[in-house]
Amino acid sequence: MSGYFYLTLAGQDYIRKDAGETMKFVFGLLVGFALGVAAGLILAPQSGEATRAQLNEQGIMLRDRSSGFTNEIRARATNAMSQGREMYSRTRGELTETYTNAKAGKE
C-alpha cells in the first residue's frame, strides 16, 4: 500500500493517508478560496462602501423587527405567567379546602 503509513496507538492499528495527500487537499482548498474571492471582487455589482451601507440598513431593519418580536414574546410570557399564578392560587385554595374537609371528616 503505497502512500499510506501504519500507526499503532494503545494497541489499536490505524492506517493513515500520506501527509502529501492531505497537503494537496489543503492547497486545493486555499486555491479555490482565493479564486472565489477574486471572482467576487471582479463581479461585485457595487462598491464596498455601498455594500457596507446596504448591510448597515438591513441590520437596522432586522434589529427593529427583532425588537418588536422580543416585545411580543415578553408580553405573551408575562400573560402566561399571570394565568399560571391565577391557576396555582385557585387550585391551592381548592386543595386546601378539600384537605381541611377531609381532615375534619367531611366530604
For the segment 73-105, what is each residue's pLDDT rounded down to a tens digit? 889 999 999 999 999 999 999 999 999 988 888
Clarify whether residues 20 and 53 are in a common domain. Answer: no
Q: Report the mean per-residue pLDDT for the chain.
A: 83
What's the pTM value of the predicted model, to 2 decimals?
0.40
Same structural domain for residues 38 and 52? no
Number of domains in the chain: 2
Max CA pair span of the chain: 90
Residues 33 and 69 in one domain: no
Co-location of 52 and 77 in the same domain = yes
First to last CA, the chain: 86
What grid cell was written down for 3?
502512500
Residue-wise pLDDT tens digits, 2-22: 555 556 666 666 666 666 677
Q: Are residues 67 and 102 in the same domain?
A: yes
Of 38, 36, 43, which is closest to residue 51 (Cα–Cα)?
43
CA gap 84, 80 in Å, rounded: 6
Q: Which residues contact 17 (CB under 8 A, 6 or more apart)?
A: 3, 4
Residue 99 domain boundaries = 47-107
